[in-house]
Structure 1
Amino acid sequence: MNLLSRMSRRRLLAAAAPLVLLAACATPALQDTAPPPIVFVHGNGDSAALWQTTLWRFESNGWPRERLHAIDLPYPLARNDDTKPQPGRTSTAEHMAFLRAEVEKVLKTTGASQVVLVGNSRGGNAIRNYIQNGGGAATVSHAILGGTPNHGVQAIKGFNEGSEFSGTGPFLTALNAPKNMAGDEVTGPVHWMTIRSDANDKFAQPDGRWIGLAGKPTFVTSEGPALSGALNVVIPRIDHRETSFSAQAFDATWLFITGRPSTTRIRPEERPRLSGKVTGLGVDSRDPATGSFSNNLPLPGAELAIYAVDPRTGERRGAAPTYRTTVGANGRWGPFEADSQTPYEFVVAAPGYATTHIYRSPFPRGSEIVHLRPERIAEADRGAAALVTMTRPRGYLDPARDRMALDGAPPPGVPAGAGVASAKLKLPTAAPRPVAAEFNGERVVGRPWPAAEGHVTVLELTY
C-alpha cells in the first residue's frame, strides 16, 4: 500500500462514524449526465492552491477537471474594520462582488444554470453574503462551508465590532438574522452544509489564545461554525483548515453533493502536467510596521527553475533544470510535464525577494494551481547561516495529535494545539546536507542554502 493509500485509509476510518450519520441526510443523488460546476473559495490570506488535493479527489471520483474552478481573490485579507478602506485588503462587499463575477464567468463558460460553492473559513463569509444579498440564491444549488466562523472568532459586545469576524458586529448579525419562523440562519432554497471540528479549530475556541486575547473569553464555542437550518457535520480532531482540505472533509462534501459514497484515494496520472502562478508580497507603505502581507497578484519577471531531486537526499538529479521560465505579466508558468514518482525543487527568484527553494513531494496528478511565492528574510533571521521552513498549507501542526519532525527533531516553536502551520530552523552552517520535514507519513527532503547570499529553503507538505 503506497503513502497516499495509507494516509487516506487512516483518515477515512477516523471519519467513518460522523459520515454514517451524514449519509442519512445527504441531498438526493445527482442524475444529470454532466456534473454541475463547483467553485472553490479560499480563506483569509490564502489562495486557490490550497484546493489542490481536494480537486485531485474530485477528479479521482470522476468529476471532470474542467468543471472544477478554484478562484484567487487578488487581495485575500479582510480589512481590520470592514467599513474603512485599507491598502491590500478587501471588504465584504468587494469579496462578494468578486465571487459573483467569478460565478457568472463559470456559468457562461459551462452553460450550466447553477453551481456548487465550497468555501473555507472567510470564503464561507463571501458565499453566505452572495447567496443572501448578491443573487446567489438563484445560481447556487449547494453551499458547503468548512470552518467558517459563522458566529465570529469572538462575540464580545463592543469589541472590534467593525471586523467581519465579530459575532456581534453588523456583518454577521445581518447574515445570522432568522429567515423564517423556525429561526433558520441560512437562505433557501440552497442546500447548506457546514463542517467543523469537535474542539480543535483555533478560531472556534472559548478562550482567545489564538486571536491575541489569551485568558479572555470569546463567547464563541466549537459550535460557532454551525448554522441553524444547515446540515452541520462534526469531524473529530480536525483543525481549522482540515475542515475543508482533509480527506474526511472531501468525503463529507462529496456525499452531500451526490448522495453517493466516494474514494478518498488520489488516483495517479502517468505524466502529470503542472502549471500555476508566481505571486508576491505587498507592503503597507502607510504603516511599514505591519510588514508584508500576502496577495494573489502576479509577480511579473520572476524567474522559475524546476529540478528533479533525490527523495532520500534532496540533491538535484543533474546540473540543469528540467524546466525554466521567466513569468510574464499574468504571473503564469507552465505547463511542465512532471513524473508522478519524482519529488521536485522549485526555485523562485525575483528582485526584492530571497531566492526561494521550495521542495515538494511527487505530484500524483496534474494541477493548474501550483502557485509559488518567494520569501523575504526577516531582520531577526539575518544572523543565521541557513534558514529552513517546514510548512503545511492545508492544515496545522499539532504536537498532541500528529507525528512530525524537522531535521530529526520536534519542529521548533510549535505550541500545543493546532494553531500554527509552519516551523523554522536557523542553522549555524549552510553546508550541503539533507534536511527532512516529516508529517504523518509524508516526508519532504531538501537542502540548506546560504542565507548570507539571499537564499532560503521551504519544505512544503502537500497532505
Structure 2
Amino acid sequence: MPRRLVALLCALLLCMPVVPSALADERRHRPRPVVFVHGFSGSGGQFETQARRLTSNGYPARYIEAHEYDSTFGAQTVQEVYASLDERIARLLAETRADRVDLLGHSLGTGLMQAYLRSSPARAATVAHYVNLDGATSPDLPGGVPTLAVWGEGSTGRRVGGAENVYFSDQAHTQVVTSPETFERFYRFFNGRAPRTTSIVPERFVSLSGRAVLFPSNVGAAGARLEIYQVHPRTGERLGHRPRATYELTGDGAWGPFRAHGRAHYEFAIVWSETSVHHLYFQPFLRTDRLVRLLTSRPGEGLSGLVETGDGHSALTINRQKEWWGDQGREGDSLYINGRQVLNAANAPRTERTIGIFAYDAGSDGVTDLSAPLPEFFATPFITGMDVHIPAGRRPTSIVSRPRGGDGRVDALAVPGLPSSGHRISVQLNDHPN
C-alpha cells in the first residue's frame, strides 16, 4: 500500500471520536419500555421493587410503567382496559422511539394479557416479549409473542406452550413478582444477557412520584390533600411542622415528582378532612421511584370502614409485597408489634397468601386475642385481620419483621401512637433485602 494512502488512513482513524465501551454497550443494548399489568386487588406497587432493580441496571425510570385497572370491573370494562393499554403503549413508543414494548402480567393480569395479545395481530406486533407471572396457562404462545412463564408454589404441570417455563416452587404467588430470582430471569429474557446486579443500588437524592388510589378499584383518591413530611426514623414523628410538599389530589390521584433523600424516612398523609387523616409510612426508598402507590379509601368505606376505632388505641394496616407465612416455623416469618409476635397458624397460614394485615383492638376492650383471625378480613383474598390492642399515646408504635430467607435481617419502622378515632395508619415493609 502506498505510504501516502497509509498516512491518510491513519489520519482519518485519529480524527474519529472514541466511544467509551460502556456507552457503546448501552447503544447496542438500548432497553425497551416495560409495562406491568397487575392481578386481582393489585396495583403498580407490586412492580415497585423490580422497577428500582431495572433502573439500577441502566433503565431510565420513565421507561417503566404499570397499567392499572379495577380488577372487580365495576368501574370499567375489559375492552376499556385494552383501549387504555393501546394508548399507553403508543405513547411510550412515541416518547422512547422504541420499536416495541416488553410486557408482564401477573395472576388475573395474565389472562387479560393473553387475550389482549390474541385479540389482533396489530396489538401483538407492539410487544417484543411477554412474561406470564404465576397465572393462566396456555397451549401456545399468546399472539405468537415470545414468552417467559414464571411459576411459584403449586403444580409443575402448569405451562405456556412454546414458552420458556421456569418454576420457583419455594416462592409464593406475589413473591414470584418481586423476587430477585424472577428479576434475573426476565431481565435476561428481555436483554439477552444477565443483569449487572439484582440489588437496588442506592442514590443519595431520589425523585418520588405515584398515585393515591382507592383500594381495590385503583380509582384516584380525588378530593383529598396529600402532605409529605420527613420523619424521625426511631419514632416516626414529623421533623418540622410544615410538610415538605403538598398536592391536591384530583383525577387519577397522581402526585409528584417530589425530591427526597434516598435513605430518609417519610410520612405520606392523605387528609380527607381535619378529623380524618390516613398516614402512610415506608422504609427508605433508596432509588428514584415512579410507582409509589398510596392505597386508601374514603372515610367509613371499604375494609377500613370495618375497623373499630377509639380514642385509646391505634389501628394499623401492614403491607408487604411478599406473603406472610405464620405457620412454617423457622421457615416462616415473624412480625412483632410493640415486641409481641402476632403471626400464627390461625391468622397467617401459608395458604392464605397474606400480603395485607389489619391489626386493631376488636371490641375496644384493651385485650389482644390472636387465637383466631377476624373473619370479615380473613375472608378477603390476600388479607387477614387480627385483634391486637395497640395503645394510643405519646409512645411510638414499633413494627419489626424478621422475614423468611433474610439471614437474620430485621425490617423495622416506628410510627406515632395516633388514636384510631381520627387517624388511620398504614405501614409498608420491604419485600427485598436492601
TM-score category (smaller protein) = 0.7 to 0.9
Contact 2:61 2:288 in 1 (8 A): no
Which residue in 1 is equivalent to 2:336? 406
Q: Secondary structure at the match of 1:233?
A: strand
The 5 A counterparts of 1:235-384 are: 235-262=168-195, 263-281=197-215, 294-350=216-272, 354-375=276-297, 376=299, 377-382=304-309
User: Is 1:430 equivalent to 2:392 in the alignment?
Assistant: yes
SS in 2 for 1:54: helix
Deviations 1:283-325 (A, max 9, x none): xxxxxxxxxxx22222233111222222222222233322223
3-state SS, counterpart of residue 348 of structure 1: strand
Shift of 1:55: 0.8
**Which residue does the alignment assign to 1:462?**
430
Cα distance in 2 between the residues matched to 1:380 and 1:304: 22
* Aligned mates of 2:274, 2:105 — CA distance in 1: 33
Q: 1: distance between equivalents of 2:358 and 2:97? A: 47
Q: What secondary structure does 1:145 align onto?
A: strand
Per the alignment, residue 141 of structure 1 pairs with 128
Equivalent residues in 2 for 1:8-47, closer than 5 Å: 32-47=28-43
Decide whether the 8 Å contact of 2:206 with 2:261 is kept in 1: yes
Residues 104-253 of structure 1 mapped to structure 2, 5 A cutoff: 104-135=90-121, 136-150=123-137, 176=138, 184-187=139-142, 189-199=144-154, 221=155, 223-224=157-158, 226-253=159-186
Unaligned runs of at least 5 residues, structure 2: 1-24, 361-388, 404-409
Q: CA deviation at 1:193?
A: 0.8
**Structure 1: which amino acid aligns with 2:395?**
R
Match of 2:49 among 53, 57, 67: 53
Equivalent pair of 1:390/1:437 in contact (CA under 8 Å): no
Q: Answer yes or no: is the 8 Å Cα contact 2:114–2:143 preserved in 1.
A: no
Large movers: runs of 4+ above 6 Å = none
Question: TM-score, normalization: structure 2?
Answer: 0.75
In structure 2, do the counterparts of structure 1 residues 450 and 188 end up closer, same or farther at CA, with 3 Å as the change threshold? Answer: closer
Mapped contact 2:153–2:172 kept (Cα < 8 A):
no
> Deviation digits for residues 217-267 of structure 1, max 9, x if unmatched?
xxxx4544x212111101131111122122111111111222212211111
Q: Residues 429 and 187 of structure 1: is their aligned pair in 2 closer, same or farther, counting only changes over 3 Å?
A: closer
Q: Secondary structure, in 3 states, of the residue corresponding to 1:253?
A: helix
Could you tell me which residue of structure 2 aligns to residue 396 of structure 1? 323
Could you say what secondary structure the match of 2:89 adopts? helix
- State the alpha-carbon separation in 2 of the partners of residues 323 and 131 from structure 1: 41
1:369-392 CA deviation, whole Å, 9 max, x = no partner?
Answer: 212133444345235722112111
Q: Is the 8 A contact 2:324 2:333 kept in 1?
A: no
Q: Is the 8 A contact 1:348 1:373 kept in 2?
A: no
The residue identity in structure 2 corresponding to 1:438 is: S
Secondary structure, in 3 states, of the residue corresponding to 2:218? Answer: strand
Aligned residue pair count: 357
Amino acid in structure 2 at the alignment position of 1:274: L
Deviation per CA, 1:42-63, whole angstroms, max 9, x where unpaired?
2222222321111110111112
The offset of 1:330, in angstroms, is: 4.5
- Between Structure 1 and Structure 2, the one with more strand by share is 2
For the residue of structure 1 that corresponds to 2:395, the secondary structure is: coil
Distance 1:448 1:139 in 2: 50
Whole-angstrom distance in 1 between the partners of 2:222 and 2:152: 39
The alignment's C-alpha RMSD in Å is: 2.6
Q: TM-score, normalising length from structure 1?
A: 0.71
Q: What is the rounded CA distance, in whole Å, between the counterparts of 2:37 and 2:307 in structure 1?
A: 34
Partner SS, residue 119 of structure 1: strand
Which one of 405, 408, 411 corresponds to residue 442 of structure 1?
411
Q: Does the C-alpha gap of structure 1 residues 409 and 34 become closer, same or farther in structure 2, counting only changes over 3 Å?
A: same
Aligned residue number for residue 17 of structure 1? none
Once residues 197 and 134 of structure 1 are traced to their aligned partners in structure 2, the CA distance between those partners, rounded to angstroms, is: 30
Give the CA deviation at 1:351.
5.1
| Aligned residues of 1:117 and 1:140 also touching (Cα < 8 A) | yes
Shift of the 310–222 alpha-carbon distance from structure 1 to 2, 3 Å rule, reads farther
Alpha carbons of structure 1 residues 373 and 198: separation in structure 2 relative to 1, 3 Å: closer
